[in-house]
């Protein structure tokens, strides 16, 4: 087996760079004016400063005029560098979601053709199933794989439960109380039976509720909800979990959140959370007296889209079974719910969950993982982690799913920004940049906005309102913030009653505002750590460790880990989980004070 010398990759071998040897990873470099105008504020300048060229940007089709304008520049590049200018190449198989292929083609990439091309002439391989370890080992410096090895520890329900239980033992229940009490069958059978009967005794005539889920299946398959022990069917490879019987209801429908998380590396650990997502609804009203009704108790869209009520206009939630996350948060805000606090808790939960497996994940270069976190909110607004999915569904089933298109665009931006930044670091002019940084540091004797990759320097909200972002535009258009309450009600309810049921109001606490206060920005769609650190000039920032600090954002992806200099340090040269947990605790204390 030939091991690639990943560390010694030269600037000409890094993804997205101009190469002279392998045509597949040469670039069609647009003119600066064309691409910098589409970059997040300040980022274009930073990349140029680092001597970085950028791949065809965003999904906007290139006009003939732009193509004409570009051509001479391409020729100039071509002549001066001697490089063969060709688009990047993606590789897919029959499991690759069609939207991935369509986005990459839209961005000017070419599809890999086994017959025509050299076996190594591709830049990105995206498929649903994981890669073999040999595929990881043989990955070339110009290639990226869309899976990281070892992540099933998170995405199998039994493994997730075991890892989180271990973390609870190590770092305390107060931090790791976001997963419902879980028993892994068959090992925990006796413990479960003891817990069940003890609870029955405590509750007296009240019922307790449990959910039984196959450890490895997805899309709601094989799930059983029960209250009476005689309905419990024990099976291997199952988990039995406390059923959250007091979910936050919207229009009396249960829902859960699908949060997209991209880990661009485990060593050092780098986590981004997508600032848009999905809310998935059950399509029949929540009813604990009928536990067999999957349309009322399971929020999987694969189940609900085949239900009789899917097409109906339902109370508050309207048609179908999905909302965007922005619409959900707007809804919460309209009830005076502190959605920012909820979002902070979700970020923290994501970090704590990934920390549970990060130290044991094998090292692998040039790969990333997109996770789908399924989170249920209860009526006291506590978020519960239900499961973590690898290869979260990227099918476009309804208009709300359009956000997945932008999600794929933003993933490409994210991984190619990282690649490009590496290239910039290794390019000769980076030496100059770093020496400037060092000089500046010694001048000022400490941190400064210019020697960091500052969280503050990139305005996320300005990016959010980019006119090319159709999904964001959509989110804004359904956003009730600036709308008068009555108009808002119409938009949110899909012409139906906007009011929560009395039971819901009593349970979920949100109170109706007499008048809606417009919010100025799309918060909580900016990083909470970011927003936190924005408050003061002297607040900790991620120090650029010779330019190695991760990008604070790409599209709607916002860096949530590392979130300060201490956690950046604690994620280098072996992950110091204890130190990171301390930092998280400090942050929580600050947020609560």
Rule CB under 6 A: which residues touch ligand ADP?
A: 180, 211, 213, 217-221, 223, 241, 243-244, 256, 298-300, 374, 376, 386-387
Backbone angles phi and psi of 199, in degrees to 5 = -65, -40
Encode 420-438 in three state secondary structure.
HHHHHHHCHHHHHHHHHHH
The DSSP result for 6-25, as a single string, is -TT--TTTSTTS--SS-GGG
Q: Cis before residue 562, ω within 30 degrees of 0?
A: yes
Question: At which residue do the structure tokens 């020496």 appear?
Answer: 435
Q: How are beta strands 144-145 and 110-111 bridged, if at all?
A: unpaired
CB of 249 to ligand ADP, least distance (A): 12
Distance from C-alpha of 2 to C-alpha of 219, rounded to nearest angstrom: 39
Asked if 199 and 229 touch (Cβ cutoff 8 Å), the reply is no
| DSSP 8-state secondary structure symbol assigned to residue 388 | E
Those residues whose C-beta lies under 8 Å from the C-beta of residue 169, and which sit 6 or more positions away, are: none
Per DSSP bridges, beta strands 553-554 and 269-274 are unpaired
HEC string for 106-134:
HCCCEECCCCCCCCCCCCEEECCCCCCHH
Give the start-end residues of each E strand in 512-571. 553-554, 557-561
Q: What SS3 class is residue 253?
A: strand
Among candidates 321, 291, 322, 292, which has minimal Cα distance to 306? 321
**Coil, strand or helix at 260:** strand
CB 431 within 8 A of CB 51: no
Residue 186 preceded by cis peptide, ω within 30:
yes
Q: Terminus-to-terminus CA distance in the chain, angstroms?
A: 55
- How many CB atoms within 10 Å of residue 421? 23
Handedness of CA 454, 580, 367, 280 (dihedral sign): negative
Q: What is the largest CA-CA distance in the chain?
A: 83
CB nearer ligand ADP, residue 234 or residue 439: 234
420, 566, 581, 523: which is closest to 55 by C-alpha?
420
3-state secondary structure 460-492: HHHHHCCCCCHHHHHHHHHCCCCCCHHHHHHHH
Rounded Cα gap, residues 268 and 60, in angstroms: 33
CA distances 3 to 15, 62, 125, Å, are 18, 39, 18
Identify the helix (H) or strand (E) that includes residue 375.
strand 369-377
Q: Where does residue 292 rank: exposed (0-12), middle (13-18), buried (19+ CB within 10 A)?
A: exposed
The residue (of 241 and 571) whose beta carbon lies closer to ligand ADP is 241
Which residues lie across from 373 on neighbouring strands? 259, 388
Pair 122, 90: CB distance under 8 Å: yes
């Amino acid at each position: 087996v030939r091991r690639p010398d990943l560390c010694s990759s030269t600037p000409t071998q890094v993804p997205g760079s101009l190469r002279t040897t392998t045509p597949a990873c040469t670039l069609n470099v647009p003119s600066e004016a064309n691409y910098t105008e589409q970059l997040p504020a300040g980022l274009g300048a930073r990349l140029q400063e680092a001597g970085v060229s950028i791949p065809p940007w965003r999904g906007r089709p290139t006009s003939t005029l732009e193509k004409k304008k570009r051509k001479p520049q391409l020729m100039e590049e071509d002549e001066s560098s001697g490089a063969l200018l060709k688009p990047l190449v993606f590789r897919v198989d029959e499991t690759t979601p069609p939207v991935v292929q369509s986005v990459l083609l839209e961005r000017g990439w070419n599809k890999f053709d086994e017959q025509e091309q050299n076996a190594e002439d591709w830049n990105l391989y995206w498929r649903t199933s994981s890669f073999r370890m040999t595929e990881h080992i043989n990955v070339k410096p110009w290639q990226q794989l869309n899976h990281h090895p070892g992540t099933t520890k998170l995405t199998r329900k039994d493994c997730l439960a075991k890892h989180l239980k271990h973390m609870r033992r190590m770092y305390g229940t107060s931090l790791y109380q976001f997963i419902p009490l879980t028993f892994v069958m068959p090992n925990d059978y006796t413990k479960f039976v003891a817990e069940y009967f003890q609870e029955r005794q405590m509750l007296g005539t009240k019922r307790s509720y449990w959910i039984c889920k196959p450890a490895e299946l997805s899309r709601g398959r094989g799930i059983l909800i029960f209250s009476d022990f005689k309905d419990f069917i024990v099976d291997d490879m199952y988990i039995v979990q406390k059923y959250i019987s007091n979910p936050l209801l919207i229009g009396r429908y249960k829902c859960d959140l699908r949060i997209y998380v991209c880990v661009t590396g485990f060593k050092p650990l780098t986590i981004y959370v997508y600032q848009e997502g999905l809310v998935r609804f059950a399509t029949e009203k929540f009813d604990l007296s009928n536990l067999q009704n999957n349309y009322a108790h399971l929020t999987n869209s694969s189940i609900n889209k085949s239900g009789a009520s899917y097409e109906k206009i339902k109370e508050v939630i309207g048609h179908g079974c999905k909302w965007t996350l922005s619409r959900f948060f707007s809804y919460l805000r309209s009830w005076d719910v502190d959605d920012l606090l909820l979002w902070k808790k979700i970020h923290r939960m994501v970090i704590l969950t990934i920390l549970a497996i990060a130290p044991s994940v094998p090292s692998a270069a040039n790969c990333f993982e997109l996770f789908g976190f399924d989170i249920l909110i209860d009526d006291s607004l506590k978020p519960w982690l239900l499961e973590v999915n690898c290869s979260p569904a990227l099918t476009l089933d309804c208009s709300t799913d359009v956000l997945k298109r932008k999600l794929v665009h933003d993933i490409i931006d994210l991984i190619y920004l990282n690649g490009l930044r590496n290239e910039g670091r290794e390019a000769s002019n980076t030496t100059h940049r770093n020496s400037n940084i060092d000089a500046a540091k010694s001048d000022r004797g400490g941190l400064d906005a210019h020697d960091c990759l500052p969280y503050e320097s990139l305005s996320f909200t300005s990016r959010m309102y980019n006119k090319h972002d159709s999904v964001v535009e959509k989110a804004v258009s359904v956003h009730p913030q600036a709308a008068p309450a009555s108009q808002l009600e119409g938009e949110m309810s899909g012409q139906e009653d906007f009011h929560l049921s009395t039971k819901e109001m009593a349970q979920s606490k949100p109170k109706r505002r007499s008048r809606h206060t417009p919010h100025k920005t799309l918060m909580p769609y900016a990083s909470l750590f970011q927003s936190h650190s924005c408050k003061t000039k002297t607040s900790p920032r991620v120090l650029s460790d010779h330019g190695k600090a991760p990008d604070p954002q790409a599209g709607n992806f916002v860096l949530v880990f590392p979130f300060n200099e201490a956690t950046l340090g604690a994620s280098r040269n072996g992950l110091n989980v204890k130190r990171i947990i301390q930092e998280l605790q400090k942050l929580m204390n600050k947020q609560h004070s």
